[in-house]
Amino acid sequence: MAVVASAPGKVLLTGGYLILERPNAGIVLSTNARFYAIVKPLYDEIKPDSLASEWTDVKLTSPQMSRESIYKMSVKHLLLQCASSSHSRNTFVEYAVQYSVAAAYASLDNDKKNVLHKLILQGLDITILGCNDF
């Protein structure tokens, strides 16, 4: 099952990528063009050895930028480790994935956390698309 999420695009007036590090700040305006993320399981089922593993696979694809990155995610610490070449890394996207998964865990009760854990063990296949206005 795929999940599609959408968010308004933004124009960064000041700050650049420096705003990813504290204490830097920036000024951002939203636009009516949107970004979309499509998230689905990477594998159809959980591999038997995945249940004992502390790592799962994450594939991030951005067709418009001709980028694909492969990561390993620590299921225990929710940290990403890049497994593909370093030129395809995008720190902003890496943080977005880590914080999104952490927020999902934090907002769920124990029964739903177990379901989320099993879904994450199937791996994450994430595709990022932007409106052509960008």
Number of domains in the chain: 1
pLDDT at residue 92, as a whole number: 83
Domain membership of residue 27 (yes or no) is: no
Check: CB of residue 69 under 8 Å from CB of residue 59. Answer: yes
Domain membership of residue 29 (yes or no) is: no
- What domain range is 95 assigned to? 36-131
Domain membership of residue 55 (yes or no) is: yes
Global pTM?
0.77
CA distance 71 to 84: 7
Residuewise pLDDT in 10s, the chain (134 residues): 899 999 888 888 888 777 778 898 888 888 888 989 999 999 988 877 666 678 999 999 988 888 889 999 998 888 898 888 656 677 888 899 999 999 999 999 988 998 898 889 999 999 999 887 65
Domain membership of residue 124 (yes or no) is: yes
108: alpha, beta or left? (left if phi > 0; alpha if psi -120 to 50)? beta
